[in-house]
Chains A and B, each alone.
Chain A
Amino acid sequence: MNLFRFFAYLSTGMTYLLIFIGGLVRVSGAGMGCPDWPKCFGRWIPPTNVGQLPDYIDPSKFNIVLAWIEYSNRLFGALVGVTITLTMVFMFKDYRNEIRIRNAVILAFLLTLVEGWLGAVLVKTVLNPVTITLHLLFALIIVMLLIYASQEAYHLENPHSEKKSDYPPYLGKVFAILAGVLLIEVILGTEIRGGLEMIRKENPVIESTFLLKMLGPFKYLHTILGILITFISGYLWFYLVKKPRFSSSLMIQTSSTILLLILVQIISGEILVFLKVIPLIQLFHLWIASWILGLVSIQYSLWKKSQVTNE
């Protein structure tokens, strides 16, 4: 494995961990843990007691636990930024003529810069809901781009990996629909989360079971789209794993894992909207969604590879 692929995999893994930490910031209510940006309470290392606060910041905002949760997201985000930058450096060294890899990595790098800026906007706007959704959406796109670039580099080194596969040629549109529906599903999910917050703001001391009853049509729409995703993924599995005479083992593992994770999502999602809002389940529900997106990127890239190889 060359340095580019090593760093591309590392960036992917770290971005996934960063999405997890970001979700943790959200579910633990630590989004405003640091009321300023990029420093935290005017310091590069968050203060340990109220006495260290600068006088332009309201002391009631100080909570050392929330500050560190939020700040660790920033610190780790910066580290991921450095790793993605290194990935880009090695891309220019070894793959600058591979347009698809080059574009994917450059776009991932630019979006990483946007993510940092969005972090600042989030703090400034006191967690504007649209910005929160964008912050997540860009993270998901970054991770998909990194996976795509890694996968393309893998194919360059293993040109015959999908040579024997005989996947049907007409699945491009199905992948496009699936990607679109998945992204809409994620946005709907964040709407449910935001909707809960709105209801909670207007009904401050409400019990969480009532809270769920007041949640509007979003939860049904989210469920319906979930069923649609299950069908599309099942369809893809059938034509990529079951039907072909030969499927690569990576394709079999990817496609089957997607179905398994969708099952996990359905169970955890129904628990969340119909039984009880449990922060830990919320966190994993979001995180697994990001895995599914990544796996679908791999699935698509494998299928695409087989089409190009067999031309």
Chain B
Amino acid sequence: MNKNIIFIIVLIFFLGLGASWVINKANSSHQLPTIKLVPEFAFINQDGDPFTEKRLLDKITVLDFMFTNCPGPCPMMTHNMAGLYNDFAGVSEVQFISVTVDPDNDSQETLKNYASLNGVNDQRWNFLFSGIDSIKKLKRDGFMLFADDLPRGHAIKFVLIDAGGNIRQYYDGTDKASMKILRKDITLLVKKMRT
């Protein structure tokens, strides 16, 4: 009997040791690559104010490309972005940017309406527009996303940008599981920023 008890205690000890190794390994396994610096751009937001890459500094940014009339994946993307916008309401370091890929139809007025329709009531979520060529250029060269057949052929990615203006990761903006990972990653960057 005593032998059994010793065996069980030793077994539990090693299970605990193994488990704590696995937990540590899991915690440290999550690394965000630094992909590239977001290049210069000068766009205008839904309030008519200029918005440049400088506004990315000292903020954690989630950015996507969309257009308000989009029938396909955009409603899902906007829904997911709004979820993040609400969940991170108390975290002033986090901001959201949606760039329209259909500036012909998405005027400042349209974007402003679209923003308030989606519950935007502060400066944390900016909807940007510009000439189609600068949008294409930023999307293709700045964010390395395809931009040939705009507005229809826009990417469904959410882009995470750190406080230094670096692209850190891309996420499928229509996918629930990807949103969970994005949430975690934003939190990670905010915590890093605060310490």
A contact residues vs B (CB 8 Å cutoff) = 20, 24, 27-30, 32, 35, 58-61, 63-66, 69, 126, 201-205, 279-280, 283-284
CB contact under 8 A between A205 and B16, given known A60-B178, A126-B180, A279-B23: no
Inter-chain contact A20/B170, CB cutoff 8 Å: no
3 closest A-B pairs by beta carbon, nearest first, are A65-B29, A28-B26, A58-B172
User: In terms of DSSP, what is the predominant structure of the interface of chain B?
Assistant: helix
Contact with A along B85-116 (1 / 0, CB 8 A): 00110110000000000000000000000000
Inter-chain contact A280/B20, CB cutoff 8 Å: yes
Closest to B83 in A: A201
- Residue B175, interface by CB 8 Å: yes
Residues on B with C-beta less than 8 A from A61 are 177-178, 181
CB contact under 8 A between A24 and B180, given known A60-B170, A69-B26: no
Please measure, in the bound complex, the distance between the C-alpha atom of A60 and the C-alpha atom of B30, giving whole angstroms.
11
CB contact under 8 A between A58 and B175, given known A20-B19, A280-B23: yes
Please measure, in the bound complex, the distance between the C-alpha atom of A204 and the C-alpha atom of B184, giving whole angstroms.
8
User: In terms of DSSP, what is the predominant structure of the interface of chain A?
Assistant: helix
B contact residues vs A (CB 8 Å cutoff) = 15-16, 19-20, 22-23, 25-27, 29-30, 87-88, 90-91, 169-172, 175-178, 180-184, 186-187, 190-191, 194
Closest to B169 in A: A60
Inter-chain contact B29/A66, CB cutoff 8 Å: yes
CB contact under 8 A between A28 and B23, given known A60-B172, A66-B29, A204-B183: yes
Inter-chain contact A69/B22, CB cutoff 8 Å: yes
Please measure, in the bound complex, the distance between the C-alpha atom of A126 and the C-alpha atom of B177, giving whole angstroms.
6
Cross-interface CB contact of B19 among A35, A65, A280, cutoff 8 Å: A280
Residues on B with C-beta less than 8 A from A69 are 22, 26
| Whole-angstrom distance between the Cβ of B125 and the nearest chain A Cβ | 16
| Whole-angstrom distance between the Cβ of A32 and the nearest chain B Cβ | 5
| Whole-angstrom distance between the Cβ of B106 and the nearest chain A Cβ | 26
